[in-house]
Structure 1
């Protein structure tokens, strides 16, 4: 009988007293440690030869074994959230509790069964209790053990457990750095907060928790909450004296959100009375199942762990050499090794030569050292993550390992920022290679302060994006992965959340080492990543495309684009009217009025009133109404499709009509979107604040939004758009004769496809047939399934499958090419664009059908979409340099998918039109397939497009 079966998790009589040798009980918060383990390996996931991501299991196991070895844990339990459809008592109290939390990553969820099996093999009970959270089970067990004088150590990074601290209950919290755990006791808590542990419930209630959707009180962060509870003792007493609170934001928050504060207190209070029938002996880790443990490690291909057991490295865990020998006889050696565990280095002021420039003399000495260097790492410290809104706080430099200089602006001796920047400008304007992390940000900031920083560049973020496009590219992650170094976290300097400070408010003694470390680590990473680019054959893409593009994007971000606010308001009124019409239709079909934006109310209408079959649940057990569900239901009933249309218009209004006006820069009067070079795995650019890539062009109202984008007075907007470029790339790469011929003859590709698929002459193709052929054209090359095509066409799956089969027969060259891409991915583990940009496909051989199917779609999508991305990026670089060489006033403003938008003075319209068309066509020629560019000019983006 497994140990969790011996724990009767329902009301039962009091159990016997704990054994005499049970002096200490360890309670492990399983999900918190599993999440931590998953994200520790997020930059370099552990994927075994079966295609399974085992990161969370490996990290969790390493942490658990280390805890057992270091602390001799004889009595312990691992507590999981039970999950399930019924939810927890907190959702009964507050329906929106955790309503907006993202579900756990699929890879993490897939690891949970393995983690539980390993825990069981170690003879540790796995506890899961429906209706409550793991915190409540841990709280109940801790309080119960405390009554018998047992010391309890809760192992979790969750601060909520601080409310349970007592002379017998402590917290083991994973430290920020390395793999150690910090011990938090009631004494250290009192020293830190000046409160008693139960009062931390009140602190949590005031702070709220956005991740769990605990409302809290607006205007109150942790620091303010602690001060208020120190003064008033509890939330209830604080609310009774809310008028006395000095801070305006906190006072108004308390007066206007009294019920939220009281509700939040109920939500954050950990229950300690969950009815559990405890048999204390089940917590005794007495008889590990070593054959099962070794079997699991072999199945998961954790060779280093098997080797540690074989070499006696886990003798304490395995309880003796005899048991170990017996297990080894039953185990065969695996063949995969993740390598040894290595501790991380951290900043050591005794080793690192990091200096702060404090006066003009030291600045002159630094400039003399910088003069003539062939490469220089730079990093700016500022007051904002948005470059166009940031004020310069300082600049750091490094040119050798372990060394760095930080120049505050202004200098401590009073030298103003503009003087400091002017003195440094000649150094920054030289042609030596600039090294850094996310250099585009630094280029924009420095340009706004009067300094242009020319190429060549080596950007560590961009370099790693080429090497591993789907992994995180943060500097601290790269430092851990490649240098085994743990950087100082920015949160340690400026905090986080509501109480986050500006970098301007941090002393230069703290900022200096932090900034120098950034440049030092970037410099070290540049060498490692350059070698990796060479090894993978990616250096030419970096040097000819991605690194030169940094300068182009920086210039586009600084330039920005004009918005006509009157047009925005006019579009807003139109959208409001359309939304009212849709609402009326929805209510008429539903037979009841309801809040369309409420997932709960919509679910009630769809599944209870209309009787539609549910298609899944949320992470909290509620019936799902997400977009994919509504798309599927739209094939069966008109209401889900209308709701999708309503959501589309509501998002347009909130994001672009209501949102764009607030983004106009007060200095320039223009909107400055941020172009993200290292986000999409295919190589495409994305944009944010605002996201211009998501303005829909296939709907009338989406196109209307473009009418609000205008040039400066007297100028024109020029839009240049590749025509059906992805299908042309598919024709070139696949060599399909029918597809090539259609493009060579200048046929309408969707009509030509419809004629072949539906077996009718082109002149007989109906608009509906052309529409369906267009969906097939843009879906099949990306691995769309019959189910996915049926959703787009709102037809039956059978009909969609017939369309796919007809397409495959009509274009056999395409079919063979797509199969070839999948086979290549299976053999080498990645696919490539025409220029050699890579995307790895780790799940291409996965046993799980859903994972494998997704990987196959990636394998056929990336070479086509990635080649298009390479083509337009090369065009951008070439056009930018041509405009400079010809001394044109025209400016490149936007890049959206296959389109480039320029702001052009009237006298330059024709020469710039020719220049843009030439460079876009010549950027990346396709064998046997012509490239076409559609160019328009107008007084706004819609007219130009």
Structure 2
């Protein structure tokens, strides 16, 4: 096959598991079917209730393991205490990469990929019925076992048919890196996030009554609720009293979307508690948090779910996807500690490194690129500090972030609560200060419009089709290479034996026994620096570390700390509840 040029495999195994879910939300394996591509050799193993089964697939460097959504298969390997393959090809990742940005009538699941290449597949209804059988759990009679094995084999035979169709389009070097990341995902999903389950149960039991108490307590500062109803006219009056500008919709009405509250709260921290309250009342579903009996929050991390290749876990099931204050439920086990590690100004540094803009590199090296930008633009004196010029720094910080996320003057004006002409001037100063970056960025957009494609250093690509959003294209390489960096870091850390609980945008949460915590943090930080070097060449990113030792719990002081304290003060004592 064409994709094997320069990479020879003696065997290629297409494999698929069927599995349910344990009480800890880890895979409960039912069966495995695997077929060797060249010889046609078939392995069908019933695994439910089998003690210490032996893996029939060779795991060495001369064998290629092929799956679709391979993090699930690797999760089954962990359950069975099997080694991971040295070479793993996930056709889901490759199909996502090849079609990213395109409209797919049948989606990007296995059936969607088969449909895209004109291959037959079993009916969706039949597939769902058999999937439910696997989820049901045992005991299984002989007919049910055969049905699940046959269903599993149908997916394996589909992989055997799909592989040669996709092979000529796959870069095997990049694909194997993505395969290693799916193994890292399986390890992270297996570790999970330590969660205070007794406290979560108390919150669930009291949430209905707590909502009224929270509204009464929080709304004392705002006066915008009537009962449980947020009143637009009262909020408009609050804005008028406090002389606070607010983004509006094209209709002229206030923009009350949660993302607007979230972004505006950055400029006006006094509304953070109101934002947390509205989000908690409107979108938070405590019963949907997936926490196993072992007090671990586990859910699918959904790798490569976003256009930039970032993970897209469920916002209702993943604790980092919900209201910020709820992260207070994250608590290390007794004798353990947690560390939240994130890269400092990741998107800015990526832009500096890839564009080769010396002024940008200087700004990053200063340790405070926002203040350095203000200095380079002549907005503050050379000896200005964060304390001496906080307002100017805040304006230039939001300008940098606006550029990183592809925002225009109108969006920036909404965030900084200034007229559009001020936002335009700030963006103009960014262009003047970082000319090399802008030449590079504009050139990328021109290339994408001409060639209908952009890609990262490790080959994650986006196809340009349909309505063109130039700002989104300009933003793609910063965000997508940031995703590459996180993937490399997760690969390096999990392969080094570091217990990574979860990736979070440009950060990771790790855990370790208290007597090993400092050592593991140092090791993780070095591997994150190595990941930045692998993506950016000789340009190295620094990391920040927030440490939580038992019995302390995770706390985002700036965004959710005050609201957490309110909830805890109103939560009835467990004896009363």
Q: Give the TM-score of the pair, scaled to structure 2.
A: 0.77
1:677 aligns with 2:311: no
How many correspondences in the alignment? 517
Report how far residue 500 of structure 1 moved: 12
The CA distance in 2 between the partners of 1:459 and 1:840, in whole Å, is 20
Aligned to 2:416: 793
Report how far residue 404 of structure 1 moved: 8.4
1:937 aligns with 2:547: yes
Report how far residue 905 of structure 1 moved: 1.9
Distance change (3 Å), C-alpha of 1:475 and 1:626: farther
Cα offsets for 1:171-225 (capped at 9, x unmatched): xxxxxxxxxxxxxxxxxxxxxxxxxxxxxxxxxxxxxxxxxxxxxxxxxxxxxxx
The CA distance in 1 between the partners of 2:73 and 2:440, in whole Å, is 43
Please show how residues 417-816 of structure 1 align to structure 2 within 5 Å: 417-419=48-50, 422-423=52-53, 425-428=54-57, 430-431=59-60, 432-470=63-101, 472-482=107-117, 484-495=118-129, 502=136, 507-508=144-145, 510-534=147-171, 539-543=172-176, 545-565=177-197, 579-584=215-220, 588=223, 593=226, 595-596=228-229, 602=232, 615=249, 627=257, 646-652=274-280, 658-659=286-287, 663-666=290-293, 668-688=294-314, 690-694=317-321, 702=324, 704-744=325-365, 746-757=366-377, 759-764=379-384, 766-816=389-439
3-state SS of 2:335 partner = coil
The CA distance in 2 between the partners of 1:858 and 1:679, in whole Å, is 17
Please say if residues 405 and 516 of structure 1, whose CA atoms lie closer than 8 Å, have aligned partners that are also in contact.
Answer: no
Deviating more after overlay: 810-819 vs 721-730: 810-819
Report how far residue 864 of structure 1 moved: 0.9
The CA distance in 1 between the partners of 2:181 and 2:553, in whole Å, is 23
The CA distance in 1 between the partners of 2:217 and 2:37, in whole Å, is 65
Uncovered stretches (5+) of structure 2, i.e. residues with no partner: 1-8, 241-245, 558-577
Please say if residues 193 and 298 of structure 2, whose CA atoms lie closer than 8 Å, have aligned partners that are also in contact.
Answer: yes
The CA distance in 2 between the partners of 1:614 and 1:912, in whole Å, is 47
The CA distance in 2 between the partners of 1:445 and 1:497, in whole Å, is 16
Report how far residue 911 of structure 1 moved: 3.1
Please say if residues 377 and 429 of structure 2, whose CA atoms lie closer than 8 Å, have aligned partners that are also in contact.
Answer: yes
Please say if residues 382 and 391 of structure 1, whose CA atoms lie closer than 8 Å, have aligned partners that are also in contact.
Answer: yes
Q: Give the TM-score of the pair, scaled to structure 1.
A: 0.49
1:881 aligns with 2:495: yes
Cα offsets for 1:629-663 (capped at 9, x unmatched): 9669989xx9xx96x96454343478778347x52
Report how far residue 519 of structure 1 moved: 0.5
Aligned to 2:15: 378
Cα offsets for 1:686-729 (capped at 9, x unmatched): 32363345357xxxxx2x54343222221221332211121111
3-state SS of 2:554 partner = helix
Report how far residue 807 of structure 1 moved: 2.1
The CA distance in 2 between the partners of 1:825 and 1:551, in whole Å, is 32
3-state SS of 1:860 partner = helix
Distance change (3 Å), C-alpha of 1:691 and 1:501: closer
Report how far residue 456 of structure 1 moved: 2.0
Report how far residue 783 of structure 1 moved: 2.3
Uncovered stretches (5+) of structure 1, i.e. residues with no partner: 1-371, 411-416, 618-622, 697-701, 844-850, 884-889
Distance change (3 Å), C-alpha of 1:631 and 1:672: closer
Runs of 4+ deviating beyond 6 Å? 401-404, 496-501, 503-506, 570-576, 603-607, 628-635, 653-657
3-state SS of 2:229 partner = coil
Please show how residues 81-96 of structure 1 align to structure 2 within 5 Å: none
